[in-house]
Structure 1
Amino acid sequence: MSKTEFVSPEGFRIDGRRPSEIRTFRCQVGGVSQNADGSAYVEMGCTKALAYVYGPKEARRGAMKTQCGVLTCEVSLAPFSTADRRKRSRYDRQTVELALTIRQAFESSILLELYQRAQIDMFVHILETDGGHKAAAINACNLALIDAGINIRDSLVACSAGYIDGRPIVDMNQAEINAGGVELLLGVFARTRKVSVIEMDSKITPEVFQETYEACIAACRDLYTAMETAVNDTALRLVHSK
Structure 2
Amino acid sequence: MTLLASADAGTTCYSRLTNDWLCWQYVSDYRTEITDATVQHLQITLVSVVVALALSFPLALLARRYARLESPILGLATGLYTVPSIALLPLLVPFTGLSATTVVIGLALYALTVLVRAFLDGLRSVPEEVRESATGLGYGRGRLLLRVELPLAIPVVMAGLRVATVSTVALTTVGSLVAHGGLGNLIASGVTSDFRAELLTAAVLCVVIAVALDVVLVLVQRLLTPWTRTGAGA
Coarse TM-score class (shorter-chain normalised): 0.3 to 0.5
TM-score after normalising by structure 1: 0.35
TM-score after normalising by structure 2: 0.36
Larger strand share, 1 or 2: 1
Larger helix share, 1 or 2: 2
